[in-house]
């Protein structure tokens, strides 16, 4: 455990309490120096950023866990091998003032904190030669670069290296996203065949929450009505809750909308009409502020017509920021798991520097770090959110996918997305009105 000042102070286990108190007071005095005040106030800039590591003990102990803000998750390297490293891409050049490391029992006895502008040439910010685990707080380091790395050279145990959290504080060049803003509420997998008279019915509760937020507009990510999405079902269930703001809703269909005995999407089209078919197709696009939104029908991603339309739509887009949404997620840790049907669409969106993808299908909440279509974490990647918690029966988390940063199952709620002219972020709000998760703030590509 470390109490850090501008000069490195180390506290091996076993020192007496008097020395600990004296050093703590000394650290407080040093932090009060005028030259130290900025470091203490600098914001956390590593939360949710893409991370990689030299190795991972298992797929569920990946590098992203050390930057997800969740102390219940961790990164763990392969056991019994030195050296090992973990690094984070801050997304832009940053002036770094503090690095805080929370070690699991498998800690580093010797390591370096390093910074790099290109990810190839590294400069040491701090070095530990006699670590004893716990929390190492390097408060007062000075460095500049886009990448930060923890490079372990000697293990403190016979196992590997393991971090609950690695927090990087400082300031990013250009500062946070700014500009005019608007709010959007989103959810998928919504209206089960139940009503408010049933205390266990969730979609009246998510609708009440969504209406209370009163956003610019609403997005739905498919499976709006269960089970066969007939027009009679839409009128009996969805219309009594989420239908209250149908005119402000921009929906897409899910697989349940294809089960209608009257024909695939028949009830969906009859209920939403031109709202769901503003351009005469089950997929469409529109603009808001500096954002271009693309609503897609993942039931027909194998049809050339939609793919050709998407390419032409993106080619004609003049907005800086791009968000797309459909039902089936490419990546998911839930019961349905990864669905490769949308990988060709991801490749097109990635090539157009799209920022955000929203999906449903699996009935849980999950957010992913920016990644490319092949699932590789990268700062210029697409952020994916699974938001299938609008009212259908929850699904459990089954197999945690790489780059998954946060997962919540069993809690109904909605996504409250905040968009500006140059970036975005969101909260996941439960039906009890409490925020269950807060995303990092992202800038548009």
pLDDT band at 41 (very low <50, low <70, confident <90, very high): low
Residue ranges of the alpha helices (H) in 352-415?
Answer: none
Give the mean pLDDT of 168-192. 83
Q: Is the dihedral of CA 63, 64, 70, 73 positive or negative?
A: negative
Nearest to 391 by CA among 422, 430, 421: 430
pTM over 0.75: no
80-101 pLDDT per residue, tens:
999 999 999 998 899 999 999 9
Percent of the chain at pLDDT > 70 equals 89
124-143 pLDDT per residue, tens:
999 999 999 999 999 989 99
Percent of the chain at pLDDT > 90 equals 82
pLDDT at position 13 over 70: no
E runs forming strands in 40-134: 51-53, 75-76, 84-103, 108-116, 123-128
Q: Distance (Å, rounded) from C-alpha 182 to C-alpha 24?
A: 45
51-90 pLDDT per residue, tens:
899 999 998 999 999 998 888 999 999 999 999 999 999 9
pLDDT at position 225 over 60: yes
144-174 pLDDT per residue, tens:
999 999 999 999 999 999 999 999 999 887 5
Higher pLDDT, 35 or 375: 375
320-329 pLDDT per residue, tens:
999 999 999 9
The pLDDT of residue 31 is 38
Question: Is residue 228 classed as helix, strand or coil in its secondary structure?
Answer: coil
Nearest to 426 by CA among 400, 398, 406: 406
The pLDDT of residue 42 is 81
373-407 pLDDT per residue, tens:
999 999 899 999 999 999 999 999 999 999 999 99
Instruction: Output the six-digit token pair for 345.
Output: 């669409």
Which DSSP symbol is given to 120?
S
The pLDDT of residue 50 is 87
Instruction: Output the six-digit token pair for 97.
Output: 């003032």
pLDDT at position 301 over 80: yes
pLDDT band at 22 (very low <50, low <70, confident <90, very high): very low
pLDDT at position 37 over 60: no
Question: Is residue 26 classed as helix, strand or coil in its secondary structure?
Answer: helix
The pLDDT of residue 341 is 96
pLDDT band at 303 (very low <50, low <70, confident <90, very high): very high
pLDDT at position 410 over 90: yes
Q: For each of the domains in the chain, give its residue range(s) and CATH number, in order of start.
A: 39-172 (2.60.120.260), 181-443 (3.60.21.10)
The pLDDT of residue 277 is 98
Q: Distance (Å, rounded) from C-alpha 94 to C-alpha 111?
A: 22
Tell me what the pLDDT averaged over the chain comes to.
90
The residue behind tokens 């009505």 is 225
pLDDT at position 16 over 60: no
pLDDT at position 23 over 80: no
Q: Distance (Å, rounded) from C-alpha 30 to C-alpha 45?
A: 24
Give the mean pLDDT of 197-202. 96
The pLDDT of residue 180 is 67
Q: Distance (Å, rounded) from C-alpha 63 to C-alpha 125?
A: 21
């Amino acid at each position: 455990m470390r109490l850090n000042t501008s000069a490195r102070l180390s506290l091996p286990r076993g020192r007496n309490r008097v020395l600990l108190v004296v050093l703590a007071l000394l650290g407080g005095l040093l932090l009060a120096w005028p030259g130290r005040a900025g470091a203490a106030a600098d914001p956390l800039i590593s939360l949710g950023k893409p991370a990689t590591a030299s190795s991972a003990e298992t797929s569920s102990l990946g590098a992203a866990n050390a930057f997800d803000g969740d102390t219940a998750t961790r990164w763990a390297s392969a056991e019994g091998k030195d050296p090992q490293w973990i690094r984070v891409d801050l997304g832009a050049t940053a002036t770094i003032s503090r690095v805080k490391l929370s070690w699991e029992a498998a800690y580093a006895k010797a390591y370096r904190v390093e910074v790099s502008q290109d990810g190839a040439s590294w400069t040491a910010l701090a070095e530990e030669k006699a670590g004893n685990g716990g929390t190492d707080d390097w408060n007062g380091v000075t460095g500049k670069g886009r990448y930060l790395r923890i490079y372990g050279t000697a293990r403190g145990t016979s196992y590997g290296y393991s971090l609950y959290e690695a927090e990087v504080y400082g300031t990013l060049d250009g500062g946070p996203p700014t500009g005019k803003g608007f709010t959007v509420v989103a959810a998928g997998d919504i209206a089960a065949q139940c009503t408010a008279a049933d205390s266990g019915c969730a979609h009246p509760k998510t609708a009440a929450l969504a209406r209370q937020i009163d956003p610019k507009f609403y997005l739905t990510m498919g499976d709006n009505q269960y089970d066969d999405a007939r027009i009679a079902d839409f009128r009996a269930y969805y219309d009594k809750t989420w239908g209250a703001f149908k005119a402000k809703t921009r929906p897409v269909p899910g697989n349940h909308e294809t089960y209608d005995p009257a024909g695939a999407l028949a009830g969906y089209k009859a209920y939403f009409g031109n709202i769901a078919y503003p351009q005469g197709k089950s997929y469409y696009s529109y603009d808001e502020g500096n954002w271009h939104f693309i609503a897609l029908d993942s039931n027909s991603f194998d049809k050339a017509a939609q793919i050709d339309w998407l390419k032409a739509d993106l080619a004609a887009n003049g907005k800086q920021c791009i968000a797309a949404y459909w039902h089936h997620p490419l990546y998911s840790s839930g019961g349905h798991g990864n669905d490769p049907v949308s990988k060709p669409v991801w490749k097109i969106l990635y090539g157009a520097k799209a920022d955000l993808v929203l999906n449903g299908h699996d009935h849980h909440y999950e957010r992913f770090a920016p990644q490319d279509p092949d699932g590789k974490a990268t700062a210029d990647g697409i952020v994916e959110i699974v938001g299938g918690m609008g009212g259908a029966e929850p699904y459990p988390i089954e197999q945690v996918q790489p780059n998954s940063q946060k997962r919540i199952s069993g809690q109904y709620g909605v996504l409250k997305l905040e968009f500006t002219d140059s970036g975005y972020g969101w909260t996941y709000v439960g039906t009890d009105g409490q925020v269950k998760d807060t995303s990092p703030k992202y800038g548009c590509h």
